[in-house]
Structure 1
Amino acid sequence: MPPAVVLPAVVLPAVVLPAVVLLGAMDTKGAEYSFVRDRLRAAGVETITVDFGVLGTPLLSADISSGEVAEAGGGDLEQLRADADRGAAMAIMAAGSAAVVKRLVAEGRVQGALALGGTGGTSLAAAAFRELPLGFPRIIVSTAASGDTAQYIGETDLILVPSIVDIAGLNRISTKILGNAAAALSGMVNAVPVPDGGSRPLVAASMFGVTTPCVTRARERLEELGYEVLVFHMTGSGGRAMESLIRQGYIDGVLDVTTTELCDNLVGGVFSAGADRLTAAAAGGIPQVVSLGALDMVNWGAIDTVPAQFRDRNLYVHNSSVTLMRTTPEESSAIGAELAGKVAASTAEAVVVLPLGGVSALAGPGGPFYDPAADAALFDAVRSGLEGSAVDLVERPEHINDPELAVWLADRLHALIRQAATAELQR
């Protein structure tokens, strides 16, 4: 485990706010960082440069050197060079960069962060930038800013800007891109702060197109009761973002109406949120009301992308980019058991609601996903999984999108949150 970070005793520039940290390999990209630094200074933004390069002599003398970054990461730069182990060096410099950047932010010395790089530099800088607070301005100009960028962004608001050309010299294309990135970050750090919304308690709610009427009405009711509601779209990244904010302590209560990502994680669909979905509130002692929204479907891309082994299943073309597949009784049973097991681990009051009239807009009587056998398997698995637990299991006759049920869900969560607040005051 790296030692506690002590920032090096170097003479930093006389910083007049705002200021940003420029994090990068100054031994290979010194000219590019000099250009960005000068553009920022021309916009009235000061900089603190941090070097994570290990290859050779810096082309730009950084305010915090690569040796000091290595030390902050628990290593020694000269030893890293002697070992010539790129993987080990990247791990040390990533840890050191994250520690240094986080410390600069915590001390209020910088109000933004910017990096430039290929896949290696992007990975290292992104690891440091992902740990910064939500809403903190951060940009990476990257050759990897296309396709699947989840590995870099995670559940944060980090901005990736496509570099178009490689970050390998200044030219008429790269200077346009780098200049725009500098201007964008300058605008962010100089912007009038957005009000934080006050002191209303925060509720996280999960939604999908096929549960929108329920969540919309429940959100309206919760707002009437004095809450601020954050709605997350359950497309994998949405579930991960919601779980992340719960773990970070932002959320006072969870209305997890739409747990559909469990289906994709089980079957292999495109909207999986991973194995940690439906765990943060349970582990963190956050009151939650959970339902079975859209547990009747697995998500694929366009119809021609559905894997061959599923082509004969009950498929529904939701739009040109999304094809839905009805879950079978066997899949429904496994999903219900997983949901029950995760909610049963709750360390705070939790309620699971079975909407017996249908779990999505497609699943009611006459709908394309109406399947009483699959629904029965789902409901029975939840019942069995919660038997003997402290979770309150409630069975409601309505369809999940019935407005009466939506209001009931909101009111029940309100009661749980108030109960938790009262218990906290009595401690």
Structure 2
Amino acid sequence: MTGQKPVTIVAIGTLDTKLVEYLYLRSQILEADPSINVILIDAGRAAIQHEAITVSQPEVLKASSASDGSLESLPRGEVVATMIDGAKRVIGDLVNEGKVHGVIALGGSGGTSIAAATMRELPLTLPKLIVSTVASGDTSSYVAESDITMMYSVVDIAGLNDVLRAVITNAAVAIAGMARGYAVRCATPTGSEVRKKCVAVTMFGVTTPAVTVARQRLEEMGFEVYVFHATGAGGRSMERLLREGRLDGVLDLTTTELADELVGGVMSANEERLTIAAKTGVPQIVSVGALDMVNFGPKDTVPEKFRDRKFFEHNPSVTLMRTTSNECRELGKRIASRLRANCVDASAIEVWLPLKGISAIAVQGQAFYDNEADGALFDAIKAGLDGSGIAVKEVDADINDPKWAESIARRLVELVNSKSKG
């Protein structure tokens, strides 16, 4: 680390209830690397004083736009919201100044909510770690599309004991190592290296063959390829990178998350899905991969109202339900509507339709083959984009045909390069 700026780790928490645990965390970070600078931020309800606290609770409160300077009369939910806003601003300013190489927190549900909401706003790949009592359950509401690492505390964070000391020590060593690595990456000079253009590709198990061929072709042509698993979080992560300006092109081959959004499956993204590339003019090719299916968990978790539908057990944990003609028609309308409503450059968008099957199990002879439903999808897209300037290309192939995958990858490269020249 000689000649480099000191590594800095931010520790944020509710210090009015967890000061002892945070002081131990701080000590273990410094034991792992005494050169690390630890910024201790108090986002608790009540103000306390301690020499180790870098940013006090009143300072966080003052930074919040939701605060009138007092928390005494506020219900718990509003207290949390106020401290989240203040913490976002404090830590955001530090990050923007290049002073942060990692962020860590300890907490129950309240402290985890504050820390997670703050961390979700931070740049991807900046190390983020939360030791939490809720980390062994469903953490999707905390992590969302970010890269927060969560570690289960095993015992409550309420007084030190042998188990909690060991967990906190593990977390301290982990964040110290991650922060050092991040600092090295940030400090490594790029010299005269030319940045590769970065493109996103969306994938599902039933579109993997096409994505594999397309990815390999894109890499051979000098592109950095980010593959996103279309599980809801995957689509949101891709849209986030687009929003941050980190992608030069998108091969949105697998738009299955829209089906879950429409019908109520477990892998829905959100209403922002399929909008950001269009809004920003990033070249994109959109297809209809896996729109033949809605995703649920184990078969006994499928809602009763769907019991008479056509299903396919992908594995013991994933049950797929075939979309109907009416659902496919609505999906086609939504795709066309989102692209059309958000489009700033029609020449940067194309929609490719594989007429012989939109997933590995939707081709003739397979469980989800339904020519009528697929036709409703295709017709709705074409009708919805008519006159928009957005090109629709119909291809006499199924979505996993290697020639289709080669063609779609090459066309994306042409669109990206055309945009760069323009």
Output the TM-score relative to the length of structure 1.
0.91
Residue 300 of structure 2 aligns with an amino acid whose one-letter code is: D
Q: 1:198 to 1:318 in 2, by over 3 A?
A: farther
Shift of 1:59: 6.1
Q: How many angstroms apart in 1 are the aligned matches of 2:408 and 2:5? A: 50
Q: State the partner residue of 1:259.
A: 255
Deviations 1:276-315 (A, max 9, x none): 2111111111111011111111111111211112122111
Match of 2:208 among 206, 212, 234: 212
Residue 119 of structure 1 aligns with an amino acid whose one-letter code is: S
Q: Is the 8 A contact 1:139 1:185 kept in 2?
A: yes
Q: How many angstroms apart in 2 are the aligned matches of 1:307 and 1:257? A: 28
Shift of 1:75: 6.2
Q: 1:341 to 1:77 in 2, by over 3 A?
A: closer
Does residue 290 (structure 1) correspond to residue 279 (structure 2)? The answer is no
Q: State the partner residue of 1:39.
A: 28
Q: State the partner residue of 2:394.
A: 395
Instruction: Quote the RMSD (CA, aligned, Å).
Output: 1.9
Q: State the partner residue of 2:244.
A: 248
Q: State the partner residue of 1:127.
A: 117
Does residue 271 (structure 1) correspond to residue 273 (structure 2)? The answer is no
Q: State the partner residue of 1:340.
A: 336
Deviations 1:235-272 (A, max 9, x none): 11111111111111110000001111111111101111
- When structure 1 is superposed on structure 2, of 48-57 and 410-419 the one drifting more is 48-57
Q: State the partner residue of 2:13.
A: 24
Q: 1:305 to 1:74 in 2, by over 3 A?
A: closer
Q: How many angstroms apart in 1 are the aligned matches of 2:15 and 2:359? A: 54
Query: Equivalent pairs: percent with the same residue?
Result: 48
Q: In structure 1, the residue corresponding to 2:150 is in which secondary structure?
A: strand
Residue 416 of structure 2 aligns with an amino acid whose one-letter code is: I
Q: How many angstroms apart in 1 are the aligned matches of 2:66 and 2:287? A: 49
Q: Is the 8 A contact 1:67 1:77 kept in 2?
A: no
Shift of 1:55: 2.4
Unaligned runs of 5+ in 1: 1-14
Does residue 72 (structure 1) correspond to residue 71 (structure 2)? The answer is no
Q: State the partner residue of 2:371.
A: 372
Number of residues paired by the alignment? Answer: 408
Q: Is the 8 A contact 1:243 1:277 kept in 2?
A: yes
Q: Is the 8 A contact 2:214 2:406 kept in 1?
A: yes
Map 1:75-224 onto structure 2 (within 5 A): 79-81=70-72, 83-191=73-181, 193=184, 199-224=195-220
Q: How many angstroms apart in 1 are the aligned matches of 2:291 and 2:24? A: 52
Q: How many angstroms apart in 1 are the aligned matches of 2:160 and 2:351? A: 58
Deviations 1:60-96 (A, max 9, x none): 7511111111111136686223x24333332222111
Residue 300 of structure 1 aligns with an amino acid whose one-letter code is: F
Q: How many angstroms apart in 2 are the aligned matches of 1:177 and 1:316? A: 42
In the TM superposition, structure 1's runs of 4+ consecutive aligned residues that sit over 3 Å from their partners are 56-61, 74-78, 192-198
Q: How many angstroms apart in 1 are the aligned matches of 2:96 and 2:168? A: 27
Q: How many angstroms apart in 2 are the aligned matches of 1:238 and 1:74? A: 32
Map 1:56-71 onto structure 2 (within 5 A): 56-58=47-49, 61-71=52-62
Q: Is the 8 A contact 1:258 1:291 kept in 2?
A: yes
Q: State the partner residue of 2:324.
A: 328
Residue 225 of structure 1 aligns with an amino acid whose one-letter code is: M
Residue 291 of structure 2 aligns with an amino acid whose one-letter code is: L
Q: 1:364 to 1:170 in 2, by over 3 A?
A: same
Q: In structure 2, the residue corresponding to 1:126 is in which secondary structure?
A: helix
Q: State the partner residue of 2:359.
A: 360
Residue 180 of structure 2 aligns with an amino acid whose one-letter code is: N
Residue 85 of structure 1 aligns with an amino acid whose one-letter code is: P
Residue 72 of structure 1 aligns with an amino acid whose one-letter code is: A
Q: In structure 1, the residue corresponding to 2:95 is in which secondary structure?
A: helix
